Amino acid sequence: MTITDAPSPTTITSPAPASIAVTLYRAPYRPARQPVDVRNPQGYALVTETRRITLPRGRAVLRFEGVAGGIIPVSAVVDGLPGGTVEKNRDARLLSPAALVDGTLGNRVTLRRTDRASGVMRDEEATILSGPTGGVVVRTPNGVEALGCAGLADSLKYARVPADLAAKPVLSVTTDSPSRRTVTVRLSYLATGFDWSASYVGTLRGDRLDLFAWTTLANGNAEGFADAEVQVVAGRLNRQWVAPLEAAATRLQLRCYPLGTTTSDLQMRTFEAAEEIIVTGARMGIPPPPPPPMVVETPAPPAPPAPENLGDVKLYRVPGRATVATKGQKQVALLRQDGVAYTRVYRRRVAVAQPIEAGAVDIVLRVRNEKADGLGIPLPAGTTALYAAHGDTSLLVGTGTMTDRAEGETLLIGAGTSRQVLVTQTPLPNQSARLTVTNTRAVPVDVELPIGYPGGKVEAAGLERIDGIMTWRVTVAPGDTATLDYRY
């Protein structure tokens, strides 16, 4: 009886997708006033790739190169394989100086040294004994030494790239095809290291407001997604924390200790690290230069498509295609509504019975998110910047933030601070207080003063509860004063 080993499965590599779609989800707990952390985005994305692949008959390992480095392997779904998916793996061993050293332990390399004084370069055989953390130790014909500690410009030259190292992140799946065929495969997966935010720009044109919104797309991964269909989702989804996939090797460290001693109380000397690490393997390439930190596409494009319902959250499609660049961010149009009606309100939130002496108030534009008022679309949370026409130019008059606003709700857009409308509050006996509003403007003003906190017990004639807070709303004539006494 003869036992033969089963043949090894064929390996098929798909270097890049034919088309790609990226749906970005915001960082769940980032406040609207806090900008996106470009260096470490805390949101995530659903990436969907379409690839054309030729499969052999029988079992094969299919390697998807170029997936996002922040991929969550257990979320990956592959559709279109005739034999289904037998197994899937995420290869964390990416090509790097540290991974090269780690993958070549015990093997021979070429140590290239250049004499700093004469400039003479020489090559010698060496064997890597330890590394990459805590320093790299090699054995040369002259003995055992730490790399970079001989006072020469050292570099390592590798004959080949270790077989288990990849220049790009790789997701591999094992499949069993009943016949040889060419198929279209769709790969979908969740990946961390993404985020997005909205930025509203309002322009006052008389009694109407033109509202435009940019969306800032952020990608903290080392992989970019060119010419992608991009969508963003507004709203908070329930998401449990997922431990990130740790890299197979840490950063390369070169450490030197005082020569000829192991005494720990001597001061450590610092030597210059190796200047280069050369790889002669065919997979080594020159990385592209990093993109600029932000790209603003001008002029402003036409109005984007209306948002779509996605359960209880909203989905916004970015018109056309966009590039979600590596380690960067860009801005694309999110929505545009012209001729929106608004009312100007002078507003200040006051603490119960806290003394105030002629305090300034905030100016806000109250906008009803209704179609009758020129809006009536879901608005994602973001920052606001308000401009007003002044001659041939526009001047900034206020900035602020807003939370997610559904159709039918009211939003407030910050428009600065006024010292022409003043608020005074005086404590009175028996748990009472007096509010006084003075209008020095030449026109009547609408004033709102929320008193206390949501659910607080404040009593007075004419108060109404707005967003859970008892609020005094009053219109004050030019040069006039209004007074309210309330109990708490």
Are 164 and 91 within 8 A, CB to CB? yes
How far apart CA 482 and CA 170 sit, in angstroms, is: 69
pLDDT, tens digit, 9 for 90 and up, residues 346-364: 999 999 999 999 999 999 9
Q: Which of 477, 359, 482, 475 is nearest to 418 (CA)?
A: 359
Amino acid 387: pLDDT: 94
Amino acid 302: pLDDT: 54
Amino acid 263: pLDDT: 35
How far apart CA 435 and CA 353 sit, in angstroms, is: 9
Within 13 A of 136's CA, how many CA atoms are on the CB side?
33
Query: In sequence order, which residues have a C-beta less than 8 Å from that of residue 190 and are 6 or more positions away?
Result: 44, 45, 46, 47, 71, 72, 75
SS (HEC) of 267-298: CCCCCCCCCEEEECCCCCCCCCCCCCCCCECC
The mean-pLDDT minimum among 42-56, 278-292, 406-420 falls in 278-292
Element (H, E) at 238: none
How far apart CA 130 and CA 144 sit, in angstroms, is: 11
Tokens of 144: 């055992």
Sheet containing 121-130: order of strands: 143-146, 137-140, 121-130, 108-114, 153-158, 276-279
Angstrom CA distances, 113 to 156, 278, 305, 327, stand at: 9, 12, 61, 34
**Residue 357: strand pairing partners:** none
Q: Which of 155, 157, 125 is nearest to 141 (CA)?
A: 125
22 versus 253: which is more confidently predicted? 22
Mean pLDDT of the chain: 81
Amino acid 86: pLDDT: 78
pLDDT, tens digit, 9 for 90 and up, residues 322-347: 888 888 888 888 888 999 999 999 99
pLDDT, tens digit, 9 for 90 and up, residues 390-443: 777 888 989 999 888 888 999 999 999 999 999 999 999 999 999 999 999 999
SS3 at position 38: coil
Element (H, E) at 36: none
SS3 at position 61: strand
Are 59 and 174 within 8 A, CB to CB? yes
Amino acid 39: pLDDT: 84
Full-model pTM: 0.71
Q: What angle do CA 153, 159, 163 make, to 5 degrees?
A: 125
Element (H, E) at 227: strand 225-234
How far apart CA 382 and CA 211 sit, in angstroms, is: 13
Amino acid 222: pLDDT: 85
Res. 293: pLDDT tops 50: no
Res. 291: pLDDT tops 80: no
Q: Is residue 206 very low, low, confident or very high in pLDDT (cuts 50, 70, 90)?
A: confident
How far apart CA 479 and CA 95 sit, in angstroms, is: 73
Are 324 and 228 within 8 A, CB to CB? yes
Element (H, E) at 3: none
